[in-house]
Amino acid sequence: MQETFSQDPYLTVIISTLLLLFFVCLLTYFFFRQQKKRFQHEQEVIELRESFNQTILQSKLEIQDRTLQHIAEELHANFSHLVSLININLSAILPQSSGDVKEHISETKALAKQLMTEVKALSVSLNSDFIMKTGFVKALENELDRLAKTRQYEVSLTKSGSLVKLPPGQEVVLFRLCQEILNNVVKHAEATKVEVTLNYADHSLTAQVKDNGKGFDVKEASAKSAEKESTGLLNMANRARLIQADFELMSNPGSGTVVTVVLPLNQ
């Protein structure tokens, strides 16, 4: 009887300890479960926000693209027609002219013809339907040809690997991205040489645009772009993000600029 009584305190301690451990484990389980739910909720909020931002971005770019399409149609339909009429009128005046006047009219006709060619090339570069029909590479070649015809730049295009046809939407966005990079070279770089390389690998397309211009401080430009909500650098990064491409811009004052876009290819 005395032995059984003496064991009761030990049994009570063991049971109490087990119960305490059980409640600690239960509280720990509920704590981690709540943390997991909270984390999942935060992830869902982030995903929803990202999805919303992507939708807004895509809508903005679609509006821009429709605007460019409208401009291309207007250039082709109206501006080209007006240039043609100018050329017709000059042709009618030319036989009645002589000397310096005739020479000036002939030069003006040549300029009008050159203007017509430029307008058509510009119209093509703004036309998304043309880009989707001809493909990204051909559209980029046309853009580089237009740049070379200004005779202000030494332009080169190097291609490697097996060309892969991209989905139409990707081709348009990638071309607009490269077009914007080239426009920035024209507007800001003060360059004389533009080198473009396209490298098709097994699972990615790397497009790189390099110029020998004056360069700039990337961090400073990015900060100013964010503060002023400028559309230059932000637009390029946003277009790359829209097609899940990696975007890298490297530049230093006095050493030119290199822009690299790596687009994953869905096999």
What residues in the chain have per-residue pLDDT under 50?
Answer: 1-2, 4-5
DSSP state of 164: -
Record the tokens describing residue 125, joined without a space. 């570069």
What is the rounded distance in angstroms from the CA atom of residue 86 to the CA atom of residue 99? 21
Look at residues 213, 210, 237, 131 and name the one whose alpha carbon lies nearest to residue 175: 131
DSSP SS3 for 60: helix
> CA dihedral in degrees (224, 182, 170, 233; nearest 10)?
0
What is the rounded distance in angstroms from the CA atom of residue 262 to the CA atom of residue 208? 9
Q: Put residue 259 in one of left, alpha, beta given phi > 0 → left and psi -120 to 50 → alpha.
A: beta
- 182, 147 in Cβ contact below 8 A? yes
Amino acid at 132: M
DSSP SS3 for 208: strand
Distances (CA, A) of 231 to 27, 58, 64, 140, 242: 52, 15, 12, 22, 15
What is the rounded distance in angstroms from the CA atom of residue 202 to the CA atom of residue 95? 62
Look at residues 177, 235, 238 and name the one whose alpha carbon lies nearest to residue 205: 177
Query: Counting runs of H as helices and runs of E as strands, what totals does the chain give?
Result: 8, 5
What local confidence, expressed as pLDDT, does residue 119 receive?
73
For 153-267, the fitting CATH number among 3.40.50.300, 3.30.565.10, 3.60.20.10, 1.10.287.470 is: 3.30.565.10
95-129 pLDDT tens trace: 887 877 888 888 888 877 777 777 777 676 667 77
Distance of CA 184 to the CA centre of its chain: 13
What local confidence, expressed as pLDDT, does residue 163 receive?
87
Query: Would you kindly state where each structural domain of the chain is located, as residue ranges?
Result: 12-126, 153-267
Look at residues 200, 217, 216 and name the one whose alpha carbon lies nearest to residue 208: 200
Distances (CA, A) of 207 to 94, 144, 236: 49, 14, 13
21-38 pLDDT tens trace: 888 888 888 888 888 888
What local confidence, expressed as pLDDT, does residue 9 receive?
74
What local confidence, expressed as pLDDT, does residue 75 receive?
66
What local confidence, expressed as pLDDT, does residue 1 receive?
47
What local confidence, expressed as pLDDT, does residue 2 receive?
47
What local confidence, expressed as pLDDT, does residue 185 receive?
92
Beta strands in the chain (DSSP E): 154-160, 193-200, 204-211, 246-251, 257-264
What local confidence, expressed as pLDDT, does residue 205 receive?
94
Q: What's the predicted TM-score (pTM) here?
A: 0.61
What local confidence, expressed as pLDDT, does residue 54 receive?
61
What local confidence, expressed as pLDDT, does residue 57 receive?
60
Look at residues 191, 247, 252, 259 and name the one whose alpha carbon lies nearest to residue 217: 252
What local confidence, expressed as pLDDT, does residue 230 receive?
53
DSSP state of 255: S
